[in-house]
Amino acid sequence: MYNELEKIVKYVCEKNNIGMYDIDVKNTHKGLVIIVYITKIGGVLIDDCSRIGRKLKEEIELEDVIEGPFFLEVSSPGIERNLRLKRHYASAINEMIKVTHTVEDSKVSEIGVLKEVLPDKLVLELKDTSEIVEINFKEIKKARTYFDFKVKKEK
């Protein structure tokens, strides 16, 4: 079901000049919840989410890929978006990210600029020290883009 759903989302997004960032599917006691994250150059507008949501619902019902009730949400991935897939990391090169990963038996969180995405690891320039670290993908527990809300803008 997930693969069929992903094909539908990609098709609808491409047809409407929108990028599909990710899909999250959750089973709840009320039915399936499908959250589709979309992107576009210049940012996603509420109208984009509404339009894509309507077209996705029509296409999902037409293709009859989901049994029972489902709830569909369409959203931007947000200013701090999750990084799960290599393409997510690739789209975040030169952005500040926060990575939680294991070092020996401990969890460590690092914040820095993502410099490079290699086949089995990423290269991060740490925010506070400018030290370059390499983190293996298999050690990453969670990663997302990072926005420092505490930074004051200079006038």
Separation between Cα atoms, residue 90 and residue 105, nearest integer Å: 28
Can you give the residue range of the structural domain that contains 105? 86-145
- DSSP 8-class letter at 139: G
φ/ψ region of 104 (left if φ > 0, alpha if ψ in -120 to 50, else beta) reads: left
**Is residue 14 scored above 90 in pLDDT?**
yes
Clarify whether residues 116 and 66 are in a common domain: no
pLDDT-above-90 percentage for the chain: 81
In a domain, 80, yes or no: no
Clarify whether residues 140 and 94 are in a common domain: yes
pLDDT digits (tens, 9 = 90+) for 28-46: 888 899 999 999 988 899 9
In a domain, 154, yes or no: no
Q: How many domains does the chain have?
A: 2
Clarify whether residues 106 and 69 are in a common domain: no
The reported pLDDT for the residue numbered 30 is 84
pTM recorded for the entire structure: 0.79
Amino acid, res. 151: V
Q: Sorting pLDDT into bands at 50, 70 and 90, what band is 99?
A: very high
Clarify whether residues 67 and 91 are in a common domain: no
Q: Sorting pLDDT into bands at 50, 70 and 90, what band is 117?
A: very high
- Whole-number average pLDDT of the chain: 92
Last residue of a domain, one of 53, 75, 97: 75
**Is residue 143 scored above 90 in pLDDT?**
yes
Clarify whether residues 91 and 137 are in a common domain: yes
Closest CA to 49 of 16, 81, 6: 16
Q: Sorting pLDDT into bands at 50, 70 and 90, what band is 149?
A: confident
CATH of the domain at 38: 3.30.300.70
CA dihedral 97, 98, 100, 106 (to 10 degrees): 120
Clarify whether residues 93 and 43 are in a common domain: no
CATH of the domain at 110: 2.30.30.520
